[in-house]
Structure 1
Amino acid sequence: MTEQEDKLFLRRLEEAIKRTDTRGEISASDFWDTHRQSIAQERLKNAGMPYFFFGGFAEAERRRLVLYPDYLEPLESYAEIAALDLTGNFKYTQVSHRDYLGALLSLGIKREKFGDILVREDGAYIFVAAEIASYVLNNLPKVKGVSLKTAEVALEKVIVPAGDKKELELTCASLRADVVAAQGFNLSRSQCAELLRAHKIQLNHCELTDGDTRVNEGDVLSVRGKGRLKIAEIGGNTKKGKIKIKFVKYGG
């Protein structure tokens, strides 16, 4: 992004903040890359307004910023994201991420209106702004000459390719978010404290402001530049009194 584009981006962000602050509106942005997410997070860290980023699944790279009034609980549904399941017979045709991207752009859809594209052998999952889901379903009959069957599926039904996903089983002294983050991301307590002060740790897509916060099964911890960690299962205690936790780690 150029300096001028950054200024325009910040101006639009300020307008969204004002609408939420003065009218109590829930606001979902376009799908942003990590650069724009970083700019927005820097602006919001001292704004006193609740927000989170979400891209349709825990480890998404392109995500929407959601601003919401402080009297509401954060819900992923505020992001208004639809998951589209595209399937076809690709036995004799190899289709890449670029092919799906090109097919969507050829419909006149701006890149900011859709997020990650998860390619698999028989098709792909595409995450789009809910308002364009019907248009995509009705106007994307083929990709690279292969006919597609298209359908919208619930976000929780999407099967994310393993990629660099790792399953870990570790022990933690407590269920404090900072303790779990330090263990899961192999950080020292001082490193974790510094990242917390730098506003680089999130819990369930919201900035973690209090390391004492207790984590639960299903929670997602993320550290900027180190990936995301989903707490899959909290087990019993070891003989030394530590808590057994199973994680799913993405990236990093």
Structure 2
Amino acid sequence: MTQLIFRKPIFFLLIFTILIIVVLAILFGIKAQDNKLVKCLPIQAGLEYLKSQTNPDIGLLREAPFAAPHIYWLNNDNSLAAYTFSQLGISSLGSEITQKVQQYGENSNDFIEVVWGESITFPPHVATSVLLMQVGQAEIWQEMHNEGPVFEDWAEYANLGFLGALNTENQGEHQEAVRIFENTMQLFDNTGFKDKSFNSIYETYKLALALYTAGKINVEYADRVTLQKILLKMQNSNGGFHTHYDSSFAPTGDTNTETTAFALLALSAVVCEP
């Protein structure tokens, strides 16, 4: 009897220890993905860059620090930045920006919302830019895709091809989305996307769109690591991503909000591991 009484505390201690280990394992598993993103330095630097582009007087992010310091786009820039913040652990800031966008205009334009899972008119209408208001030096603009000519040649543009793949996936047509994605990847020449708009300079955000789209539609492809390495080369020391680069992978142009937001979403889709 004495021996049994002595062993009971040991037995319960063992059970308690096992339960603690199981709970910790579950918690670690749930948070593993988030921890990878938190520890991803390019993502953290990019988020700080986006925060720094916010004008506290109007609550919006500017287009670019040097090329367009007084231009504020509701769409695509601010809606996209708000979504990026919400996806990368800063949901309160994302909500604040969304509220500001709605205060000044609309947070959708039948184009950019395809990124967060909605369906849009496709092929999309060619963009129309509308100046909504001016607050001091700040100009608040909206990009619209609700009327006028449409991109009948959308498949010849990498960005539209990837957005088309996302739109098709959002409508539940997975195999067709994969087909569109694979066709669009044929525009990649191992340096960047040499599509109809190419004019000797490559556009960074198209790399990001390729990575992000592949993650969203869950497709494997051979160029993922190459795309990611090139994308990371375009990050400036200020955390933002340059809009363009040349055939030698030298960044050109300013960093800006839209490109950086796309880049961060892309890196989150591949968990920032080249």
Q: TM-score, normalised by structure 2?
A: 0.24
Greater Cα radius of gyration, structure 1 or 2? 2
Which has a greater percent of strand?
Answer: 1
Structure with the greater relative contact order (CA < 8 A, sep ≥ 6): 1 or 2? 2
